[in-house]
Chain A
Amino acid sequence: MALYSEKVMDHFRNPRNMGKLDDADGIGEVGNAKCGDIMRMYIKVDDEGVITDCKFNTFGCGSAIATSSMATELIIGKPIDEALQLSNQAVVEALDGLPVHKIHCSVLAEEAVRAAVKDYYDRKGIAYDPAQFQFHNEEEEHGHTEE
């Protein structure tokens, strides 16, 4: 059996919405180069609070690229509130599953979306509960050993 599902390989080989948005309303970046994955998510939001466009840049493995790509597809056209509900599990399911040791990539994708929304709120001066935007500290979790 291959490491990844066909869906993952499709999104890896043909990533949707890869690139930058020069006029983004919110930009979120999560991850850590030391750990081998960084995702940057750009969102464009209209006056109604609907995400009209989304693009990503990712440094990471095949599943990091595929989960970024899938996350953009899942939030484009959605109101911000709904995008904030995007769970890593939804990304995993939409990709027909991920190997266990790659689940953290889907967590990063979820967090990249929330980080972009947080940036949008900050720029617009929209109040929010900071508890909603707490992200994993990857480096701490990995417990890297300095040598």
Chain B
Amino acid sequence: MFVYADNAATTGVSKAALEAMLPYLTEQYGNPSSLYAFGQKAKEAIEQARADVAACLNAEPREIYFTSGGSEADNQAIVSAARNGAKKGKKHLISTKFEHHAVLHTLKRLEKEGFEVTLIDVNADGVVRVEDLEAAIRPDTALVTVMFANNEIGTVQPIAEIGALCREKKIPFHTDAVQAAGHIPLDVKALNVDMLSISGHKFHAPKGVGALYVKKGVLISNLIDGGAQERGKRAGTENVAGIVAMAAALKESVAHMEENTAKIVPMRDRLFEELSKIPHSKINGSLEKHVPGTVNMCFEGIEGESLLLLLDDEGICASSGSACTSGSLDPSHVLLAIGLPHEVAHGSLRLSLSEYNSMEDVEHIIRVVPRVVDYLRNMSPVWDELEKGERPHLI
């Protein structure tokens, strides 16, 4: 049995997205910047896609800039706001400790260039406290950037409240909505968001395409210089097929959001219910405000990479925040930010579902995970010490 349960990493392309994009790879391959009708057809397709994406976010078409993905959109938003602020002598940037690296590493680079960065804590539930954010605001704050939904634990942040606060204080506000778009409703006007990033492949579009919403009147600068594409703000011949596919996928996801959620939530809840029966396990992140598909849990006494390898042998694709899978020596910064001790964070498992999963998939996961956790615990000297009382249980 093959169970793909890593939809927060990437998703399969939907039939609607594939069908929408194919003509722009074959018959309609014109360059949108070309004058002749063959090129203008491609241009029209991009403008239709722009209108469709805008409609899904309650934005105006001219407020949508297509990018190569979420990381580029995050980079462009943050760097633009930093440059705008610097011109007015404002060089302070606020974000949170558990952002995606596309945000954190961009901020780190700006810090080296002389900006001051405040990363606020999140609470143990994985939610930003608006009062902490408010306390961090200074007269020279040039940007607040807070993710919409966390990619590892799925918690949804109080974006509307933060938006209202930033609007009141006249501070530009960006949100990385990569894990939210297509899964929960987004309304840039109601949320008072100035910039918002999305990534196509998180909602069944292909990889390599994303968008940045920029509220009318907010200035952005280029990351890529060259031709006049995207109203001079993003050079390079457009990824026409990808852009068309992303618009189709977003439209489809938004149109079916309620029924998708109604399908995914019971599967997710079943995973939580059954996997929580594993002794000394813990659910990471509050379930109160949560994207539909993400399950993140820790199992004490085991390490995540070996767990993933054994799940892979059983046909299950999942991810973990252990050091060995994060590519660094420390476990996931997200799990540390919500206060998990290192040794617990090493034993994390993220399962992320989409509407393409079935209850059968979930039952397979429920059969396999407890067995694999048990097997690894039997092998683990840490578990041995926990069981003998030589080491205190942390969860």
Bound CA–CA A36/B322 (angstroms):
8
B306 touches A35 (CB 8 A): no
B228 on interface, CB distance cutoff 8 Å:
no
**Selected interface stretch from A60-68, A76-84, A115-123, A128-136:** A60-68
B329 touches A61 (CB 8 A): no
A36 touches B379 (CB 8 A): no
Cβ–Cβ < 8 Å partners of B310 in chain A: 13
Question: Assuming the A-B contacts A34-B343, A35-B329, A147-B336, are A61 and B383 also in contact, with contact meaning beta carbons closer than 8 angstroms in the complex?
Answer: no
A61 touches B322 (CB 8 A): yes
Cβ–Cβ < 8 Å partners of B341 in chain A: 34
> Which partner residue on chain B sits nearest A9 by CB separation?
B309
A38 on interface, CB distance cutoff 8 Å:
yes
A124 on interface, CB distance cutoff 8 Å:
no
- How many residues of A are in contact with the other chain, CB < 8 A? 30
> Which partner residue on chain A sits nearest B308 by CB separation?
A62
Cβ–Cβ < 8 Å partners of B306 in chain A: 12, 60-62, 64-65
Bound CA–CA A15/B341 (angstroms):
28
Cβ–Cβ < 8 Å partners of A36 in chain B: 303, 322-324, 331, 342-343, 346
Bound CA–CA A66/B101 (angstroms):
31
A65 touches B381 (CB 8 A): no
Bound CA–CA A20/B310 (angstroms):
22
Query: Smallest Cβ distance from A107 to chain B, in angstroms?
Result: 14
B309 touches A64 (CB 8 A): no
Question: Assuming the A-B contacts A12-B306, A33-B343, A64-B303, are A59 and B329 also in contact, with contact meaning beta carbons closer than 8 angstroms in the complex?
Answer: no
Bound CA–CA A107/B8 (angstroms):
35
A137 on interface, CB distance cutoff 8 Å:
no
Cβ–Cβ < 8 Å partners of B342 in chain A: 33-36, 144
Partner of A58, one of B97, B313, B380: B380
B382 touches A38 (CB 8 A): yes
A57 touches B324 (CB 8 A): no
Bound CA–CA A61/B323 (angstroms):
9
Query: Smallest Cβ distance from B37 to chain A, in angstroms?
Result: 46
Cβ–Cβ < 8 Å partners of B52 in chain A: none
Bound CA–CA A17/B26 (angstroms):
58
Partner of B330, one of A12, A33, A62, A142: A142
Cβ–Cβ < 8 Å partners of A101 in chain B: 327
Bound CA–CA A12/B323 (angstroms):
18
A147 touches B337 (CB 8 A): yes
B97 touches A39 (CB 8 A): no
B303 touches A29 (CB 8 A): no
Cβ–Cβ < 8 Å partners of B322 in chain A: 36, 61
Cβ–Cβ < 8 Å partners of A13 in chain B: 310, 313
Bound CA–CA A143/B343 (angstroms):
15
Q: Which residues, 82 to 116 on B, are CB-close (under 8 Å) to A?
A: 97
A40 on interface, CB distance cutoff 8 Å:
yes
Query: Smallest Cβ distance from B324 to chain A, in angstroms?
Result: 4
Cβ–Cβ < 8 Å partners of B301 in chain A: 59
> Which partner residue on chain B sits nearest A141 by CB separation?
B329
Question: Assuming the A-B contacts A34-B342, A144-B330, are A15 and B379 also in contact, with contact meaning beta carbons closer than 8 angstroms in the complex?
Answer: yes
B152 on interface, CB distance cutoff 8 Å:
no
B379 touches A62 (CB 8 A): no
B161 on interface, CB distance cutoff 8 Å:
no
Query: Smallest Cβ distance from A29 to chain B, in angstroms?
Result: 6
Bound CA–CA A59/B301 (angstroms):
7
Q: Mark A1-38, 1 if CB is under 8 A from B, else 0.
A: 00000000100110100101000000001000111111
Query: Smallest Cβ distance from B189 to chain A, in angstroms?
Result: 36
B176 on interface, CB distance cutoff 8 Å:
no
Query: Residue among A12, A36, A143 with the most chain B CB within 10 A?
Result: A36
Cβ–Cβ < 8 Å partners of A62 in chain B: 305-306, 309, 324
B302 on interface, CB distance cutoff 8 Å:
yes
A145 touches B330 (CB 8 A): yes
B384 on interface, CB distance cutoff 8 Å:
yes
Cβ–Cβ < 8 Å partners of A37 in chain B: 303
Q: Mark B206-226, 1 if CB is under 8 A from A, else 0.
A: 000000000000000000000
A57 touches B381 (CB 8 A): yes
B379 touches A65 (CB 8 A): yes
Partner of B379, one of A9, A57, A102, A144: A57
Cβ–Cβ < 8 Å partners of A15 in chain B: 379
- Nearest first, the 9 closest Cβ-Cβ pairs linking A and B are A61-B305, A61-B324, A33-B343, A40-B381, A59-B380, A57-B381, A36-B346, A59-B382, A34-B342
19 contacts between A and B (CB under 8 A): A12-B309, A20-B384, A29-B381, A33-B391, A35-B323, A36-B323, A36-B342, A38-B381, A38-B382, A59-B302, A60-B306, A61-B303, A61-B306, A61-B322, A62-B306, A62-B324, A64-B303, A144-B342, A147-B337
Known: A37-B303, A60-B306, A102-B324. 8 other contacts (CB 8 A): A34-B341, A35-B323, A36-B346, A61-B305, A61-B306, A61-B322, A62-B305, A62-B309
